[in-house]
Amino acid sequence: MKDAWADVEKAETQPLTALFKSEPGRLARLGIEEAGIRFDFSKTHLSDGLLSAFERLAEQRDLAGARDALFSGKQVNVTEGRAAEHSAERGQGAPESVARARGFHARMRALIDAIEAEAFGPIRHILHIGIGGSALGPDFLIDALGRDSDRYETAVVSNVDGAALEEAIGRFDPMTTLLVIASKTFTTSETMLNAQSALLWMEQGGVADPYGRVIALTASPDQAIEFGIDETRILPFAETVGGRYSLWSSIGFPVALALGWQAFEELLEGAATMDRHFRLAPLTDNAPVLAAFVDRYYANIRAAQTRAVFAYDERLRLLPSYLQQLEMESNGKSVTVDGEPVGRATSPIVWGGVGTDAQHAVFQLLHQGTHLVPVEFIAAIEPEHDLAFDHHRQLLINCFAQGAALMAGKEADDPARSYPGDRPSTTILLDRVDPATLGALIAFYEHRVFVNAVLLGINPFDQFGVELGKQIAKAIDGDDGFDFDPSTKALIERALGAAN
Ligand code: F6P
């Protein structure tokens, strides 16, 4: 059978401004409204021809079958022989997995009720320790949605650099702090060391039973028990929920505590709305699918090595970091599910920042540089602050102006003052920044990653690439006679001493 990628490679498209003229229905066709979000893909080079070619590719790769396998709890994570059941956390999955997730959520809720009833004494501060998927989601959501909340003061500490923990505990009173240790494996070295230091800080601060003030969030309860945490304060989640997809599980505990249980439920329901959209909408009317077609076009046909994400909203300032893990840890792969070289570019390098700051820092390159960088703008119609609406108006005006300028370009007699234009962007416009909308937005990104992986034939759910560095760090730490290269040896000797 002919590889449908050949059709994608051959499909015709035109400059963006020409596409708007030759395809009159374009704005409607490439605009999708779902869960309080408008996705506008019309300023990309996705032509009618390209869209049909990608549809054929999706069919050949059996995207519909892969999607069913994902939602029905089949072993889609083939290299690790397990399912990927993050959607079951929001009620969309195999009935037994959904029931298990509900049970775990009920445990979470009961513990939150107990904390609120002061079963642990008065709690004012939440010190959440975790890294990667055990930190980025809670950090993003609490920063985005907890700005007005005076329920608890929260710190998410991930880096093993002591400066990170010191900064957080410097603001907190150990007597009124709840220590949350989040780790799927409960073996991650950075998290374990930070947790030990936080416990010591509590002990030295006069807490009689520091371990009694710890909540563990993990898929490895045995490890947490071995660490010294009582079973009643361990909130488990399923092994089949991947670390970077775990926000919906008990890893979301600090979100539910800081924002309230109702907000957490709304977050799950928003994500479930996107799950249903992804499962049921036709491919060409499906936001994660169209987004993945756009990703593949620029990465594979136009050789774009990066994608930039700019949040035109302070509340969403941590979104780019969240997406970096989700996308690059998932799809930064070189082999297919069958272990063959993948033969084409996989995940782009995802980077970004906040608008309007980024306009005064990196946008020069986007408008006139030599790299093609597909840009994603994310903004919300409703502001949260109490200052004059003109702030928000200016923010949105700037966001929309950048997309228009990238596309239109401008000729001038002076080459230094010319803008080539025809530079693509996607705009994601939220009605508002609330738990349901952010739930839907994050689920959109999860499914987009999945569709990209299916089109490429790779497994988005393992992450063996992070292991070698961990092994070498262990070898250096243990001074176990591993024969390091001269450069590494010299660095170790200079900074840590010959015998480290
Ligand atoms: O090293 C990568 C990684 O395994 C991520 O996939 C994960 O989110 C992070 O480390 C933290 O792992 P854990 O939750 O097991 O501490």
Site to probe by mutation for ligand 1, drawn from 180, 181, 185, 462 as the one with most ligand atoms within 8 Å of Cβ, is 185
| 362 in the same domain as 256 | no
Ligand 1 centroid from CA 23, angstroms: 45
Across 285-290, average pLDDT? 98
Ligand 1 centroid from CA 337, angstroms: 21
Query: Cis ω on the peptide bond leading into residue 356 (within 30° of 0)?
Result: yes
Q: At what angle do helices 435-456 and 48-60 cross, to 10 degrees?
A: 70
Terminal C-alpha separation, the chain = 59
Q: Is the pLDDT of residue 500 over 60?
A: no
| pLDDT of 149 | 79
| 228 in the same domain as 92 | yes
Across 196-206, average pLDDT? 98
Q: What is the pLDDT of residues 408-446, one digit of tens each?
A: 999 999 999 999 999 999 999 999 999 999 999 999 999
Percent of the chain with pLDDT over 70: 99
Q: Is the pLDDT of residue 131 over 70?
A: yes
Ligand 1 centroid from CA 261, angstroms: 25
Q: What is the pLDDT of residues 102-111, one digit of tens each?
A: 999 999 999 9
For ligand 1, is residue 137 a contact (CB within 6 Å)?
no
| pLDDT of 499 | 52
Element of type H or E holding 109: helix 95-116
For ligand 1, is residue 194 a contact (CB within 6 Å)?
no
For ligand 1, is residue 249 a contact (CB within 6 Å)?
no
Assign 370 to helix, strand or coil. coil
Across 305-326, average pLDDT? 98
| Angle value at C-alpha 286, between 87 and 442, nearest 5 degrees | 40
Q: Is the pLDDT of residue 372 over 90?
A: yes
Q: Which of 263, 280, 315 is the last residue of a domain?
A: 263
For ligand 1, is residue 184 a contact (CB within 6 Å)?
yes
Across 484-489, average pLDDT? 92
Q: Which of 263, 284, 319 is the last residue of a domain?
A: 263
| 253 in the same domain as 172 | yes
For ligand 1, is residue 131 a contact (CB within 6 Å)?
yes
| 139 in the same domain as 98 | yes
Q: What is the pLDDT of residues 318-367, one digit of tens each?
A: 999 999 999 999 999 999 999 999 999 999 999 999 999 999 999 999 99
Q: What is the pLDDT of residues 1-52, one digit of tens each?
A: 789 999 999 999 999 999 999 999 999 999 999 999 999 999 999 999 999 9
| 130 in the same domain as 227 | yes
Sign, CA dihedral 296-351-187-496, equals: positive
Which residue's CA is the closest to the ligand 1 atom numbered 8? 133
Counting the structural domains of the chain, the total is 3
CATH number, domain at 238? 3.40.50.10490
Residue-wise over 372-411: b if at least 16 C-beta within 10 A, else e? ebbbbbbbbeebbeeeeeeebeebbeebeebbebbbebee
Across 174-184, average pLDDT? 98
| 320 in the same domain as 308 | yes
- Give the separation between CA 311 and CA 108, rounded to whole angstroms: 31
Catalytic residues: 329, 360, 470
Q: State the SS3 of 253-287.
A: HHHHHHHCHHHHHHHHHHHHHHHHHHHHCCHHHCH
| 252 in the same domain as 132 | yes
| pLDDT of 497 | 85
| pLDDT of 94 | 97
- The whole domain housing 232 covers 87-263
| 475 in the same domain as 419 | no
| 393 in the same domain as 321 | yes
Residue with tokens 């979104």: 319
- Report the atom number in ligand 1 closest to the C-alpha of 251: 14
Task: Calculate the CA dihedral of residues 152, 153, 156, 159 and round it to 10 degrees.
Answer: -150
| 68 in the same domain as 111 | no
Ligand 1 centroid from CA 54, angstroms: 33
Across 227-256, average pLDDT? 98
pLDDT band at 480 (very low <50, low <70, confident <90, very high): confident
| 242 in the same domain as 324 | no
pLDDT band at 483 (very low <50, low <70, confident <90, very high): confident
Largest CA distance in the chain: 75
Across 229-244, average pLDDT? 98
| 337 in the same domain as 423 | yes
Percent of the chain with pLDDT over 90: 95
| pLDDT of 498 | 58
pLDDT band at 128 (very low <50, low <70, confident <90, very high): very high
Ligand 1 centroid from CA 349, angstroms: 20
pLDDT band at 67 (very low <50, low <70, confident <90, very high): very high
- Give the separation between CA 494 and CA 491, rounded to whole angstroms: 5
